[in-house]
Every structure is written in C-alpha cells, then in structure tokens.
Structure 1
Amino acid sequence: MKKPNALTLKLDGTSPSKLPMAKLVKYMAALTDFYGSVEAVHFDSVSEGSADLNAWVDNDISYNAVITKATLAAQNNGSSYQRLTNLLEQDGFVGKLLDRNDTVIISFPTIKKDMPLYVTKVAEIQGRLYSVGGKDDSIPVRIEGPNGETFKCEATPELASSLGSHLFKNIRVKGESNWEKREGKWELKKMKIASFTLLKKTSLRDAISSIKQAPGDQWSEEEDADSLLKTMRVINCE
C-alpha cells in the first residue's frame, strides 16, 4: 500500500530484478541530494512498474518543500538535477518523478546515444608487434598501432610461430576483422590474421621515392604524395 506524501522516481528501461544494487545506491544518493530535507524523507521500496523507487515524506510542510526544491532544480538545471540526468543518460533509462497522486511533476530529458555499428571485412593494419602467446588453437597476438592503441588479433599456431620471430618489429597483417563504429570512430575489435609482411625500416622520403619509381605508378602525378602516404598507416572502415 502506498504511503502518504509519497514520491516515486519511475525508471523506464529496467525492473527491480534487473537493477543491480550498486546502481540502486547511486540513484538513492542522487535522490537524497535532489529531494533535500534529509531528515524528513524516507526510503520505502523498489516496486514493479519498470523500476519504481518509492519514498515518503514526514508531513505536508516537508513534502511541499521537497516538491518545490526538486521543481526549482529541474527548472534551473541545478547540480542535483544534472546528477540524476547524467545517471539516466549513462544507463539509457527514461525517468519521471511522480507525486502522491501519481501525477508526473518532472520528466527527465532522454538523450539517445548513437547505436554502435558493426562491420566484418577483410582489412589490413600495421604497427609494432609486441606480444605473441597462448596455448589454444587461436593464439592471441597484440600489435601497437600508430597512436599507441592496441590491436587485438589472433593467429593459427603455425602463423604465430612465424610471427614470434619478429617480436618488437613493425609488421603489416591482413585478415578477416571485426570493427565497431561508436560516436563516429571506428575501432578494431578483433582480427584473425591470414598473412603478414615484415616492414622494412626506411625514411618517408625513400619510401615515396621507391613508390614513384615503380612501373605503372601514378604517384608522381599526385600533388600531395607525402600526405597520402601518411594516411596509409592503417586502413579503417570509412
């Protein structure tokens, strides 16, 4: 039975059985700040209806003070309101604050995050090989990318044996790879290496000169060959 002077934060997108205690504690702490009147506000329960965080207030005077504080915080985008909004955004929940008559008095804004995009394709990456090891049929391989990132790859035991002799050298690997695009950026999640090439140490100028001298090459016609070569450090999914 609902208690007098009740307040309910309705969390659409979850349920009592799916809401971890660690998250519940964060919401309760944020609500304590949002409601104010710490001595007069009491936690009641978490009930069904998505996940309803129920509280109640000692008396009408304190209840009206809590409603006023919460409403002003929402109108002025106060810190306690932002704290709750940030939690809802992080968890992907839709939040509404209901009064004792189950009337919605505050609807929290919903910010939809970009859904990740996944692509599987044959691609090439290059970087510094720094780890080859494991005992299963798929041997973990780690390559350091041009910006210090780690490319997670795997190889057959036979291919891993060959790769192991080139530790701490720059290589280019090719294979079927899984990519994720999130917030406009592609990230390699995993590559199954099918082949690799050991990269020779050479200056950028010598590399450009070698490419320009190759038969049937069109690089000599490019106005900005230096920039084009730099962009070839790693192939992405764009």
Structure 2
Amino acid sequence: MQDVEYVFRIDAFTPDNLPMARLAEYLGALAKLIGHKDHTHFVSIERGSAQLVHRVEHIDAPKVDARLTRIRSGDASKEASRAWRELDDLLANDNAVGTLTERETGKVILPFPGRTRPKPIAIPPFRENAMIQGQVVRVGGTDNTAHAILQDGDTSHTNLSMSREIAKQLAHRLYGPIVRLHGNGRFERQGTGDWQLLDFRVDRFEELRDQPIDHDLRALREIDGNGLMREDAYWAGRKLIDDEKEPSS
C-alpha cells in the first residue's frame, strides 16, 4: 500500500484568513484523529476553503483507514471518538462545516456537521440525591469542609465535599477498596448529551466487599421465603458461579 493523502476542508476559512493559532489547534486535533502521529505529516494548505492536506506513510496507512472506518461506523474507541468531537467542536465554534476526504479518490471519509449539528436543549444545573463509587485517590482540605477525589475507571470524581470526620474514615481507605458515597450532587447536561457532576456533598459512605458471587448466593438462600430454594433457581445460581469461575479466553 502506498502513502495516502487526506484533505481536511474548513468552509469558513481561506488560507488568507485562517489565524495561525487556530491552524495549530486544527492540526493538533487532526493528529489525534489520525492517531499515528509518527508517520503522519502536514503537507500544505490549499486554496478555496481552507484545505489542510496531510500525508500518512504507507506503513500506517491501513491502520489509519481502519481507524477512520470505525469512527464513521460509530464503533471507535473513546479516544478516537473524542478526537472527532474535538474537531467538530472547533468547527462549530468557528461557525464552520468540515469534511475529511481521501485526496486520490475524492471520497468523503468523515463528515463534520459543525455549525449544522442540532443545538442541545439547554437544561439548567440541578441538585438531587445520588451515589457514586470508586477508589479513593486523594483526601484533604484545610478548612472545616474536607475534600476528596474518587477514581472510577477512566472517570475521576472531583469536587467532593464532606465533614472532616468522614474524610478521616475515607483516608484509611486511600488507594484501597472500592467505596460508595451517598449524598447530594449538582449535575449539568453537556452539549454532547452527557451529564457532568459539578459537585457532590457526601453524607455517608460504605465499603464495597470484593467477594465471589457464590458467597452472596449462599447468603441469599439463607433468607426464609426468598424463592432461591427452588430447583430452577438453584441451577440458575450455579450457572452464574460456573460462568464466573470459567477462565477467559
């Protein structure tokens, strides 16, 4: 496979009026979208609308093609999807629409709706009782209200406030077991449709136990009238246990 050139077109700019700082932002976002920075090179800005030409070396061309195909089909990784969103946000903020085209064939690989994408419904932030969970990775504070950070996979829960007494108890679980915090949170809907936790006031917490499912099933079966003594329920429970113990391939 030969080197492949792509053209990213921005309809709101020309090479004469595209600010250099904004060009740098677009190129940085494009590099994230392509995902193989060592073998992707900026070539030129062509006239008409601003058209950013970049070349992917043959060594990574198939990987880039597969990556862009997954983005187009909606089956991309979170990192690749964020890169697409970052480019589209740049376009929307510039009142622009964009396309990523394969230069040789003229085929549009990815469209970027930019200014034409549906406007999100504005919903003001609101508070409600909720719970969050994760591993405690920071506890501290110098005033009467202590603060913490909770890590749940790729998500970091910040702006968590609590009494010093709760903070002292959480400090003993720093980098330890998963905990579940109960309290009141303030939430805001983002332009992407996702909900962001702005702050959270912790009332209490519980430590989640890390134990096999058969332990929980045995505890449930000891409760009178739970229905788990039936033969069909028993074998359903056994299947859960066997599935858990079976090594992953």
TM class by shorter chain equals 0.3 to 0.5
Task: Report the structure number with the largest CA radius of gyration.
Answer: 1
TM-score between both structures, scaled by the size of structure 2: 0.45
TM-score between both structures, scaled by the size of structure 1: 0.47
